[in-house]
């Protein structure tokens, strides 16, 4: 796999649709020449994930209790892109292809005796 040649500004001031970076700013260098980009020069989307859990135990009798739990995964519902097309020969080059799951919440109760 050859490293691309940067021929323009690949950073986008404002995202347009599913584009994460400008694919028009890259070109394949001629065979046998060096490209202007190094390895890992671009920072792809990170993960901002908060999982929260609340639990409360209630005593029912001498030897039994009720546990109530509320859990939220990705509690603040941040959009987290998990894949960006980085192969210059692909149709999805520069586009976000998938996102991680949105907020998920669950409630549970358990009786222990």
- Give residue 102's pLDDT: 92
- Give residue 110's pLDDT: 96
Nearest one of 38, 9, 39, 42 to 24, comparing CA atoms? 9
Residue 35 belongs to domain spanning:
5-112
Q: What is the pLDDT of residues 29-86, one digit of tens each?
A: 788 777 777 777 777 777 888 999 999 999 998 899 999 999 999 999 988 888 888 8
- Give residue 74's pLDDT: 94
Count of domains for the chain = 1
- Give residue 52's pLDDT: 97
- Give residue 91's pLDDT: 85
pTM of the shown model: 0.62
- Give residue 7's pLDDT: 83
Q: What is the pLDDT of residues 4-16, one digit of tens each?
A: 788 888 887 777 7
Nearest one of 6, 95, 2, 78 to 44, comparing CA atoms? 95
């Amino acid at each position: 796999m050859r490293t691309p040649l940067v021929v323009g500004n690949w950073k986008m001031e404002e995202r347009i649709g599913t584009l994460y970076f400008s694919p028009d700013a890259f070109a394949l260098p001629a065979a046998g020449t060096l490209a202007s980009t190094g390895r890992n020069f671009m920072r792809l989307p990170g993960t901002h994930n908060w999982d929260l859990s609340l639990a409360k135990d209630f005593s029912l009798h001498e030897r039994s209790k009720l546990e109530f739990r509320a859990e939220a995964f990705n509690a603040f519902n941040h959009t987290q892109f998990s894949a960006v097309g980085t192969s210059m020969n692909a149709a999805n080059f520069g586009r976000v292809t998938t996102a991680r799951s949105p907020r998920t919440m669950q409630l549970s109760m358990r009786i222990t005796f």
